[in-house]
Homo-oligomer: A and B are copies of this chain.
Amino acid sequence: MVDTQDTASRARTRQAIIDAAIAVLGKNLSAPLSEVATAADVGRTTLHRYYPERSDLLSAVRAESVLRLERATEHARLDEGTGAEALHRLCEEYFELGDVLSLVFGDPHCLEEVDRGQSGAEDRFKAVVERGHRDGSIDPELPATWLESVLWSQLYAAWSYVTDSGESRHHVLRLMLRTLAGAVSPPP
C-alpha cells in the first residue's frame, strides 16, 4: 500500500496474478500459493511481493470479482422489460464471468462482500423479483432470497458442466436459460 502507483509492467503482472488466482482458487479455495504462482507464470517470490499474505491475495481477488459482477450487472439493464426478462439477461451476463462463478459460489465470504461492496445489490435483485411477481412473469410463491440461491447454483452448475462435459458454452447457456425460465415462471 506504500505506493498506490503501478508502472505498466507492474500492472500487467498484478493482473496476471489475479487472473490466475481466480482460476486456481475457483477450483480449490485452499490451493497452495505455489500453484497460483505457477499458473500466473510468475515466481512465488514475486507473488509475495505483490500480496504479502494469503489474505491480501484473497481480498484482491474478491475485490476484482465484485468489480466484474458490478460491470455485468450494469450490462444486464435490470430495469428494462419484465422481471423474468431481467433475470434472463442477468444470467447471460453472469455466465460470461466464467471462473469467477466457481470462486464466488465456493467462497461464502465472497457473496457477503458483493452485497456490501455493490451498493444494495441484494435490494436491487429483490426489486427485480418483486417486479416479476407483479407483472406475472415470476411465480409469486418464490421469494427473492430463494431465487437468488437458485440463480447462483444454476450458474455454477452450468459453468461446471461446460468445463467438464466439453459442451460449447453457448449450448450450455441455452440449457441453463431454459431450466431457469421454467423454474421461475408461474405454473400454468
Listed in ascending order, the chain A residues whose CB lies under 8 Å from chain B are: 30, 139, 141-143, 145-146, 149-150, 152-154, 156-158, 160-161, 165, 172, 175, 178-185, 187-188
User: In the bound complex, do residue A139 and residue B30 qualify as a contact, i.e. CB atoms below 8 Å apart?
Assistant: no
In the complex, residue of chain B having the shortest beta-carbon distance to the beta carbon of A152: B157
- In angstroms, Cα B184 to Cα A93, docked, is 23
**Chain B contacts for A181, CB-based, 8 A:** 187
**Chain B contacts for A158, CB-based, 8 A:** 149
Interface contacts beyond A146-B161, A149-B161: sample of 6 additional A-B pairs, CB < 8 Å, sorted by A: A139-B178, A146-B175, A150-B179, A153-B156, A179-B183, A182-B182
From A143, A157, A172, name the one whose CB has the most chain B CB atoms within 10 angstroms: A157
- In angstroms, Cα B178 to Cα A143, docked, is 12
In the complex, residue of chain B having the shortest beta-carbon distance to the beta carbon of A143: B175
- In angstroms, Cα B105 to Cα A20, docked, is 24
- In angstroms, Cα B146 to Cα A145, docked, is 24
A114 → chain B, closest Cβ, in Å? 16
- In angstroms, Cα B172 to Cα A150, docked, is 12
